[in-house]
Amino acid sequence: MTSGKPPTLDARIERWPIEGGFTISRGAKTEAVVVVAEVRRGEAAGRGECVPYPRYGETPEATLAAILAMQDAIGRGLDRVALQAAMPPSAARNALDCALLDLEAKQSDQRIWDLLGRDAPRATVTAYTISLGPPETMAAATAKAARRRLLKIKLGGDGDGLRIAAVRKAAPDSELIVDANEAWTEANLEQNLAACAEAGVTLVEQPLPAGNDGRLAHIKRPIAVCADESVHDRASLPGLRERYDAVNIKLDKTGGLTEALAMADAAAAQGFDIMVGCMVATSLSMAPAMLLAQQARFVDLDGPLLLKRDRERGLRYDGSLVYPPDASLWG
């Protein structure tokens, strides 16, 4: 039942320690800094979580301010459809979009996939990330995770051939995908792709910097290449097909689940394989992405596994599988 009172909006910054640290080509961090939006109407409250990304000029403080600036609009009844035009695609819009979706589900006493006319999510295999480091360090970390069915390997440029060979030796039976985080160059691109192909890697994410990835259209790609930093929402899909075989859809880039679902449909129609990715964050960030996972070839929703602890009633992880969220968490 819907309360006659207008909805209210609150938001906060939270910090979640990472287990052992997390390193990619752009640097290392020891905690996940997230921003949580909460929209409340009567006794029902919807939550959404986002991760501001410095790569796109976002900070936790600016993201928090952007969310709170929508208080009056939310009080006047702004819904998630109108939200798409009221805010640009961003981490801030993601948190608010997901909070409104969660509230809608709780007020109707239905699961969000039923409300959206989507298939109910099922348990799916998620990647587990191995941080960038020296080959021997990465091999040791990989050996501990070698029973997982899908591993995502962070690479960083020079020496990546040695890194991926060491990883493959440590996990001979796992499917491997690689994320270069824009760290390769035109000079080492083909050499690194060949090394990955030799190691049986299935997919390489964003090998060249966004905006400087034209070379991908002029080489024979021995394995599939996935756009991450080069793709954000539906508007960024045109023109990518010659350079990329797949796109990584992340809710913080699309500005929420509403746009992400539309983007997944558009990407599939244009012939892209779909990858669903995440930042290091809690299960509240991963839960909405489980709806996307159902149409994805690659799922990378391991963020909570990299934390020292997850929030209460988090997603269930069992080996390589991640299970859909309980309504108490989201949706």
The neighbour count for residue 30, using CB atoms within 10 Å, is 12
Mode of pairing for the β-strands spanning 321-322 and 124-125: antiparallel
- Residue 13: which residues within 8 A CB-CB, separation 6 or more? 33, 34, 35, 60, 61, 64
What does the CA dihedral 24, 26, 29, 31 come to, rounded to 10 degrees? -90
Q: In which element (H, E) is residue 140 found?
A: helix 135-144
String of DSSP letters for 293-316: HTT-SEE---GGGGBS-PPTT---
Cα 224 to its chain centre, rounded Å, is 19
220 is catalytic: no
Annotate 45-70 with b (16+ C-beta within 10 A) or e (fewer): bbbbbbbbbeeeebebeebbebbeeb
Catalytic residue among 152, 169, 220, 250: 250
Mode of pairing for the β-strands spanning 44-50 and 27-41: antiparallel
Catalytic residue among 152, 154, 169, 220: 154
How big is the CA angle at 303 (ends 299 and 307), to the nearest 5 degrees? 155
- Residue 86: which residues within 8 A CB-CB, separation 6 or more? 70, 73, 78
154 is catalytic: yes
Tokens of 103: 């509230």
Q: What are 289's strand-pairing partners?
A: none
Tokens of 284: 């509240």
Strands, sheet with 317-318, edge to edge from the N-terminal-most edge strand? 124-125, 321-322, 317-318
Active-site residue set: 154, 250
